[in-house]
Amino acid sequence: MSAPRPTLATRTQVAWIRESDCIGCFRCVKACPEGAILGASRHTHTVLQDLCTGCESCLPPCPTDCIVLVPANALAAA
């Protein structure tokens, strides 16, 4: 818990939501300190990759475990 929170410059991973499993509960939106998750209640949510630092704060609150972390450079190369 003592590790500093990653920043956009130091991030190695970013969050990605498996939208087919997202129930739109809004918990991840409230948990994200960067405002990087976009979504309306009861609708599937999306991570704004340009804002996500990969801090993992959104993972524990998700009831369906549909948020996964992917390497940041994998997205940059896509």
Q: Using CB under 6 A, list all residues that contact ligand SF4.
A: 15, 17, 22-28, 31-32, 34, 36-37, 39, 45, 47, 52-58, 61-64, 66-67
CA distances from 70 to 2, 14, 42, 52, 54 (A): 22, 6, 25, 11, 9
Cβ distance to ligand SF4 smaller for residue 54 or 78: 54
CA distance 17 to 23: 11
Cβ distance to ligand SF4 smaller for residue 61 or 75: 61
Cβ distance to ligand SF4 smaller for residue 27 or 75: 27
